[in-house]
Amino acid sequence: MTVRVLAAAGLAAWLIGVLLLTVQPVQPAPGQLIDDNFVLFRTFGIYLANLDSSFWVGQLVGNLLLFMPFGILGPMAFRWLDGWVRVFVGALILSLLVEASQLWVPNRSADVDDVILNVAGALLGYAFLSIMRAIGRPTRALPGSG
């Protein structure tokens, strides 16, 4: 199997996992409110005010890490997804679809700040892929060297 086929299979598995994780109804913790947020950076304020809370830190880190595989596997699987802007646009569209779908799922909430974190995570994934590609490239000898 080629790397592209393996990356496409991994991307498909990741997408199924994201859908199972994000569009399934959940049971909120006692006292937890589920509200949609369409105000930029409102949830970031909650994260910053609750850095001592494993729940809120988990939400922050989880939303950031959730889309990292997209930034790594997407460009490996599909040439048309290879590039910063393409990863950005692809992650933005996919994250918006996930968040919009949560508007109709019981006990789920759509949050514009989740979109920002998801896209940032995809870009971090692409940065990691770019670094790994750069490390894997053989360097050419400089003129006049050995």
Domain ranges of the chain: 3-22+37-135
Percent of the chain as helix, strand, coil, to the nearest 5 = 70, 0, 30
Confidence of residue 141 (pLDDT cuts 50, 70, 90): low
Under the phi-then-psi rule, with left for phi > 0, alpha for psi from -120 to 50, and beta for the rest, what region is 140? Answer: beta
- Over the stretch 29-83, which tens digit does the pLDDT of each residue have? 666 668 999 999 999 999 999 999 998 999 999 999 999 999 999 999 999 999 9
Bridge partners (DSSP) of residue 37 are 111
Residues in the chain, total = 146
DSSP string of 6-22?
A: HHHHHHHHHHHHHHHHH
Rounded mean pLDDT of 99-116? 94
pLDDT at residue 30, rounded to an integer: 65
Nearest to 71 by CA among 61, 81, 60: 81
- The chain-wide mean pLDDT, for the chain, equals 91
Nearest to 70 by CA among 126, 116, 20, 115: 126
Nearest to 23 by CA among 88, 129, 99, 77: 99
Rounded mean pLDDT of 118-133? 97
Checking if the pLDDT of 20 tops 90, the result is: yes
